[in-house]
Amino acid sequence: MELSFYLVQLLNAIQYGFLLFLVASGLTLLFGIMGIINLAHGSFYMIGAYLAYWLTDVTGNLWLGILLGLPIALLVGYLVERFAISFLYQRDHLYQVLLTFALILIFNELQQILWGTDVHGVAIPAILAGSIPLTENQSYPIYRLFISAVCIALACGMSWVIQKTRLGMMIRAGASNREMVQSLGINVNRLFALVFSLGVALAAFAGMLAAPVDSVYPGMGENVLIISFVVVVIGGTGSIKGAFVGAMLIGLVSTFGKVLLPEMASVMAYALMAVILLWRPQGLFGRAR
């Protein structure tokens, strides 16, 4: 096989890794900062994809669909945090698992009521519909490059907010000593609601971006959820850097797994996780507890 073939696979792996990162970074933040295990995180990815499908259908334009869909996703996240999650911060993880599992069922049911069980597709916007030719018979779709570029920008933006802004300092401080943050006059509840909503919006945005390249179908959230947990565990819970490296590793392993070892492809990601956990039980960038 030619080099360009591997180049295409590499680009696919990176693009898939970036999408996983958007979902997994929210998951790891919610766990690391707020101590919340959010099984419904994949549902928000699904909600994003369905919002993109529905609103693109209504407005005839993916950009408008995303623009209208993001505030809806933020609102859903905010409401879920206020009316469900916020009651469980001081509780055992088991309560959170039960509650967020119930949310999966509710969101899936709502999805079937609102949009049915058909598989849908979303058209790639005309401006990004083309491909870049690599060789005579190999080319790479511009839209996939676009996904990677947007994700790079978002990852940089996120790291800037967390490392450089006062909001980021408060979030990190809240992760280490909630009561002290309160004693300094900061409303921790509002801060956590914001973090949760942003995490939800990131997952939904990933779903929106992915809608034109993958199809939009019932149960898509669970697939993403499981592999995102693998990413979080590999990277170390609570570590954004870990989520990034983990997402890229999973992107590479599953993309090249499908090509090189098709009969083993479905277990590759889990095998990788097992090997990494044997070597570093706290994950690549996790702190030992």
Partner 1 sequence: MPQQPVPILEARQLHTYYGASHILHGISLSIKPGETLSLMGRNGMGKTTLLRSLLGLTPPRRGTVKVYGRDMTGAPPQKIVRQGIAFVPEDRGIFPNLTVRENLVMAARPGPNGRKDWDLTRVLETFPRLAQRINNMGNHLSGGEQQMLTVGRALMTNPDLLILDEATEGLAPLIRKEIWSVVRKIKQSGIAAILVDKDLKALLELADRNIIISKGRIVYEGSSEELAAHPEIHARHLGV
**Residues lying near partner 1 in the complex (CB under 8 A):** 166, 169-170, 172-173, 175-177, 179-180, 182-188
- The two structure tokens encoding residue 107: 């969101």
Please name which of 230, 233, 279 lies closest in space to residue 253, comparing C-alpha atoms: 230
* Least distance (Å) between residue 165 CB and partner 1: 10
Residue 28 CB, nearest distance to partner 1 (Å)?
Answer: 15
Please say which residue, 126 or 288, places its beta carbon nearer to partner 1.
288
In the complex, what is the shortest distance from the CB of residue 164 to partner 1, in angstroms, rounded to a whole number? Answer: 10
Helix residue ranges per DSSP H, the chain: 3-34, 41-59, 62-83, 93-115, 142-164, 166-176, 178-183, 188-210, 220-235, 240-260, 265-279
Q: Give 173 or 213: the residue with its C-beta nearer to partner 1.
A: 173
Map tokens 């098709």 to a residue. Answer: 262
Residue 286 is which amino acid? Answer: G
9 vs 182 by CB, closer to partner 1: 182
Q: Residues 258, 265: contact at Cβ < 8 Å?
A: yes
What residues form DSSP beta bridges with 132? 140
Whose Cβ is closer to partner 1: residue 110's or residue 184's?
A: 184
Who contacts 117 (Cβ-Cβ below 8 Å, separation ≥6)? 218
23: amino acid identity, one letter: V
Q: How far is the CB of 176 from partner 1 (least distance, A)?
A: 5
Between 120 and 172, whose beta carbon lies closer to partner 1? Answer: 172
Min dist CB 187 to partner 1, Å, is 5
